[in-house]
Amino acid sequence: MHELSLAEEVIKIAGYEAGKNDAVRVSEITIEAGIFCGVEIDAFRSALEMLTEGTMMDKTAINIQRVNGRGFCSECDKEFEMNNRIDTCPVCNSFPSEIRRGHEFRVVSIVVERNDDKD
């Protein structure tokens, strides 16, 4: 279950950023997850909730933005949206020579609260 190790890495990233900013709490994290990234989103969210219970990240709002797939067909020089890895070019029906989007999994933003934010 790599969702658990991904959740641990996201927590490390958030903790590092919180430390740099003298934060007392992480209130929000936004993550981009491509439809082909291979992460089971519900399992990832559950792992994050389990690992952050009782910490500065307890009750952090987790926003996961799904990123659609984009393929490129070298036969007709067309970029196109993909919903499945086996989608073909809508112009010439060839398989994509390259999948340009949809594999990403990254932390996009972290919102923290500092002591002086609570005053």
Whichever domain contains 37, its CATH number is 3.30.2320.80
Residue 57 included in any domain: yes
54: in domain: yes
Give the closest residue to 112 by CA, choosing from 32, 33, 52, 57.
Answer: 57
Domain assignment present for residue 45? The answer is yes
Task: Indicate whether 119 belongs to any domain.
Answer: no
Confidence at residue 117, expressed as pLDDT on a 0 to 100 scale: 58
* Per-residue pLDDT in tens (0 to 9) along the chain, 119 residues: 589 999 999 999 999 999 999 999 999 999 999 999 999 999 999 999 999 999 999 999 999 999 999 999 999 999 999 999 999 999 999 999 999 999 999 999 999 998 775 55
- Is residue 95 in some structural domain? yes
User: Is 83:69 a contact under the CB 8 Å cutoff?
Assistant: yes
Q: How many domains, in total, are found in the chain?
A: 1
Instruction: Give me the domain span that covers residue 64.
Output: 2-114
CA distance 64 to 109: 11
pLDDT for 116:
75
Overall residue count recorded for the chain in this entry: 119
H-helix or E-strand spanning residue 111? strand 105-114
Q: Please provide the DSSP assignment of 35-96 as one string.
A: TTS---HHHHHHHHHHHHTTSTTTT-EEEEEEE-EEEEETTTTEEEEESSTT---TTT-PPP
**pTM surpassing 0.85?**
no
Contact 103, 34 (CB under 8 A): yes
Buried b (16+ CB within 10 A) or exposed e, 28-42: ebebbbbbbbebeee
Which residue has tokens 């307890």? 58
